[in-house]
Structure 1
């Protein structure tokens, strides 16, 4: 009997040891094969061992991505229950049977609503009165059935209200097929136009549709076509081709509906041409020929075009106007002159009022000006961590301005503001369900960190009240910092899942955005791009110095160009962070910018520089995350991508992760998740997307030892 027990115990011991050994083998990270590719340019040689991944048709690539996904699944298996809890928690705060505030356009009230239990919106309208019967234009839940990814966009109703053009993308490559629906019969017409941006514009005849085609390989929006209903799309007339590969083109209709407008733009230069909407077979006329470095945009009102421009070194832009029959720049006259301390961002034109969206010292301002000069004022806002912007305002002849307001602690409100009386009507305030949210439980502040060069960098913070600055608080520091794109302090019900577990959320308004005006952008691009990275690092140091947190509890996050930021930061100052999330990161800067067949490359030269120029090549190489991975310790990292990403190709993060695995000297986590059905924006359903957020939050909370 003892012998039998010994044999059984020995067998169990052996089996347990074998299982443990297998378990250890199972959680070993994938090792990508190396095939050295010699990349030589300007006499400089780079060896890329993972260049072979630049082909989504290669079965070895798909195999590698799947192995990384399997590794990620095993490494996070212990958090799956928590991820599900986080998902349900975030979902529970969202009103499932929600709807937008209706707006009236051309005799119809338009609204978007969601039904409980469904992921996608329903687009509908009501004729003249909100009490009228609802006409469902599109139930996207029905349209999305059978698709892993589904995006409906570009909805555009004809002037006679009988037809609606729309675009559909089922791959997530942002290549839309345009179709037309008869709103009276419900019939989808036979017209079908592939490989477009999804948007389109009706001429006044209700049968001619202008739209933008994409280059099949680079996905650059480069041609404007004219389609007549009932004809084959292959016969559509090309009305404009943008031959400069650094420019994209697009088409839309003026708010007045009098003009079809074709815009062309690069990072630094724009050009517009117009055509009377009731003359679709006429010729487009250029407003002002492009001049490198001069940007302008146009709005039509009465006998003039109103022009927002940086003409004559108006760095923060100014407003000018010109007669509709004399549009070249020598005819432009000032309406609002340039100011050094105000960035002029946008305008809304009404019959009696001009509304100007401005930014001063980082804060949104909405300025109301009567055309007759009788009155001028700003809508008052009372803190430093808010976001306010004008909303949908399709009507000229009204005293009501619709705008949207929220802050880091206050849910989003849609407000109708009477510009004559100053009366405000809150049409809708975002509901945060679950019964636990009270905005008085949270506080926000704006602080200023000092960069190494002495520049003051603003940071918006939000956290639960009662916080002690003891260096032990977990902080998630977020930033973007490119293209002049500003991340304003905004409310997020999803973010509450971090705040309620003790996190501080910090938005670093670093150079490369336009938070502090156009110069703030200019100081974070081209040969000054490294300011973006060092600003972020200096904000991190400041948060640690001021005892908000410590390097053991500091986390960083950024996506796309913000993912480039993450890649640069972990190379430059990995010791500052316990964990980093890099979403769809642009990390292989040199190789991508040298390949003009990749989507978006040529249009990026004015942002990053053209590496065909030796000086730009060397500067890019000095910070490109992929080229600067080295043998050192790195923080815990979660990297995400989408197989069909059209903006940052999946192979950039895939190669980066493979190189990090090969060179890093630590035992920290390096997780890589590829969504095999999605692109740059992730999952298409509003609740499916929350699963990706839950994965990210679980990664952070797990590192903090927070499990519930």
Structure 2
């Protein structure tokens, strides 16, 4: 580990610890023996570096190796141990579950959207876990067609996810994807909407969405590799033909790229997108000629990303070509290569352009400035532009479902830490907005009872890191409050402040909730992301620690009452920060944590590994290996006191395999000092996203909250 980097963290943590207020509550845990995982010799040798990995055998269930049954036995023992340790919170967990469930309107309906003459929507019913996907022709007063009853379809399955609903241009057929394992491998089915019959033809191992050509008998889909789960090929399917005869229209040779296929909003083009973190390429086809070959819009170039939006008279190109924060270029329909691009919205150093929503006469532009999302409306007829005003300190605005091309109305979503998710229709010509729906919170929620604010912590290198906070009125900054700090910090994914009705159960019991907008996300622009990836990844971890120290220094909390939470790549964050500053946190929740970074990135048979090289680096290269090893949580466990830990995973996780958190927990328990608990909960039925029902996931939230409350001595 870089000694200077580690030293700065340790000094900061020591300073906090010395002035910290001690937690007067001591958690009482049952006297139970934690599982001790068996150690088996395994050695990794690369770049002249030899590393012993005593828990490598836990890969065997995934690899179908000799220790498969031993892996299952170990995970079940860990589940039993967690159940014993959390036994006295079972009544509280049930209370929390019912409390959170009770805020959800069970009989509900989404805001209908118009597409090709039909209004589409989904609705839920009392006591049902799933939903019904419906439509009405021409008018919302027309008769309802239930296209798919997901409640009925999910019966008998412990996990059921339906996605990619795609109606053919003639409105007669519906293609959709189903995953019953939680590995994000979807089988595409086709339903005849005139007869109600489900076709016997189906296509396995796909991303789940079919993109129809204009003939309503041909569609394109993304096929996945059965081992790596990489999206490798785009195929063309003709109704009535065997999927074995489906033509491969695109075969991605770069295994660091993700690929996908979509249709332009104006219905004229089918577009294949192939992109990694650093470069991308789009291939285009006239939707009237599905059997013709796709044509490259602009051949990929090193370090250049671009995506394409089709208008009636030209293409718009969102690109970072000589534009760190992206700009919008334009080109003629028949001349698409780089030499034909001219600036349409020039690059601005203080504004990140993150997306476009096209209409016949208008363009809705999603942007970021000073860490906040904003939406600009630009007229395509006279070039004028204006911004929507939202009036809150911290919020999130985003384009909603906008399927119609020839309309003056853009639909957008809006939320904040105190404002429930809201859907608005905005007339881009008259500038009038209409609230179509706001998430209803049952039980008498009053936003005026909660306060949200935005602060900035100063990072070790002087960078100012935004923090969004929310708490209930009556909170005092005296260092005595409990605080949960959340972050993600990878892939350029921005963690914008949004409302959660479940979170009220935390706030109403005196917790402050905070989001650290650390580098590795894109909240402050593209550079914010680039300063938190690859050989600058450690900025992500130090930023989070600096945010935690700031909240203690400013008396929002103390380290005796400070908690951290993150999932997936945010779980990596959790693993890194407890190695760096273990005394800063009283407890940490690591969900599906990516903690065995080096071993995973060295194994190309693990799903999605090669796609991640541009994010973390390729450890087959000595410099990348050394840097990665210096922060990988599993590699840096030491014999010291760690905070209390709750670690969760799913046996069928396709994004972060179960064995990463399992190995991490085993090594932590064998190495750490002190009496703080380490709990591992593996869901034996689910994968990366947890339960599929709209209520079942709340049981996981209840467990997380009960863990925090137990540490704080909150019993009801």
TM-score where L is the length of structure 1:
0.96
1:263 correspondence with 2:273: yes
Residue number among 357, 365, 377 corresponding to 1:356 in the alignment: 365
Measured in 2, the distance between the counterparts of 1:582 and 1:306 equals 41
Correspondence for 1:76: 86
Larger RCO, structure (CA 8 Å, separation 6 or more)? 2
Q: CA deviation at 1:375?
A: 3.2
**1:54 partner SS:** helix
Structure 1 runs of 4+ with >3 Å offset: none
1:380 correspondence with 2:355: no
C-alpha distance after superposition, 1:419-438 (max 9, x if no partner): 12211111111111012x11
Correspondence for 2:22: none
1:672 correspondence with 2:680: yes
Measured in 2, the distance between the counterparts of 1:444 and 1:375 equals 34
Measured in 1, the distance between the counterparts of 2:43 and 2:363 equals 58
Measured in 2, the distance between the counterparts of 1:662 and 1:228 equals 57
**2:708 partner SS:** helix
1:205 correspondence with 2:252: no
Measured in 2, the distance between the counterparts of 1:669 and 1:546 equals 28
Measured in 1, the distance between the counterparts of 2:634 and 2:693 equals 32
Measured in 1, the distance between the counterparts of 2:383 and 2:585 equals 55
Q: CA deviation at 1:25?
A: 10
Measured in 2, the distance between the counterparts of 1:248 and 1:401 equals 29
- Which runs of no fewer than 5 residues in structure 2 stay unpaired? 1-28
Residue number among 282, 285, 303 corresponding to 2:292 in the alignment: 282
C-alpha distance after superposition, 1:168-212 (max 9, x if no partner): 100001111111000111111111111111111111111111111
**2:110 partner SS:** coil
TM-score where L is the length of structure 2:
0.95
Residue number among 55, 58, 72 corresponding to 1:53 in the alignment: 58
Residue number among 40, 49, 60 corresponding to 2:45 in the alignment: 40
Q: Aligned residue pairs: how many?
A: 684
Q: CA deviation at 1:303?
A: 2.5
Residue number among 113, 131, 134 corresponding to 1:121 in the alignment: 131
Flag the structure with larger Rg: 1
Correspondence for 2:146: 136
Say what the alpha-carbon RMSD is for the aligned residues: 1.1
CA contact (8 A) 1:39 1:48 kept: yes
Correspondence for 2:489: 481
Measured in 1, the distance between the counterparts of 2:259 and 2:615 equals 18
Q: CA deviation at 1:622?
A: 0.2
Q: CA deviation at 1:372?
A: 2.6
Correspondence for 2:403: 394
Aligned runs of 1:301-320 on 2, under 5 Å? 301-312=311-322, 314-320=323-329
C-alpha distance after superposition, 1:473-505 (max 9, x if no partner): 000000000000000000111100000000000
Measured in 2, the distance between the counterparts of 1:585 and 1:445 equals 29
CA contact (8 A) 2:274 2:281 kept: yes
Q: CA deviation at 1:269?
A: 1.1
**1:55 partner SS:** helix
Measured in 2, the distance between the counterparts of 1:101 and 1:465 equals 32
Measured in 1, the distance between the counterparts of 2:218 and 2:60 equals 39
Correspondence for 1:586: 594
Correspondence for 1:409: 418
CA contact (8 A) 2:312 2:360 kept: no
CA contact (8 A) 1:258 1:278 kept: yes
Measured in 2, the distance between the counterparts of 1:424 and 1:443 equals 26
Aligned runs of 1:10-21 on 2, under 5 Å? none
**1:185 partner SS:** coil
Residue number among 623, 629, 636 corresponding to 2:631 in the alignment: 623
Measured in 2, the distance between the counterparts of 1:207 and 1:548 equals 60
Q: CA deviation at 1:292?
A: 1.7
**2:108 partner SS:** coil
**1:462 partner SS:** strand
1:560 correspondence with 2:568: yes
Correspondence for 2:380: 371
Correspondence for 1:659: 667
CA contact (8 A) 1:362 1:515 kept: yes
CA contact (8 A) 1:481 1:511 kept: yes
1:89 correspondence with 2:89: no
C-alpha distance after superposition, 1:517-536 (max 9, x if no partner): 00000110011100000000
Measured in 2, the distance between the counterparts of 1:514 and 1:236 equals 39
Correspondence for 2:436: 427
**1:547 partner SS:** coil
- Which runs of no fewer than 5 residues in structure 1 stay unpaired? 1-23
Measured in 2, the distance between the counterparts of 1:616 and 1:85 equals 48
Measured in 2, the distance between the counterparts of 1:184 and 1:361 equals 51
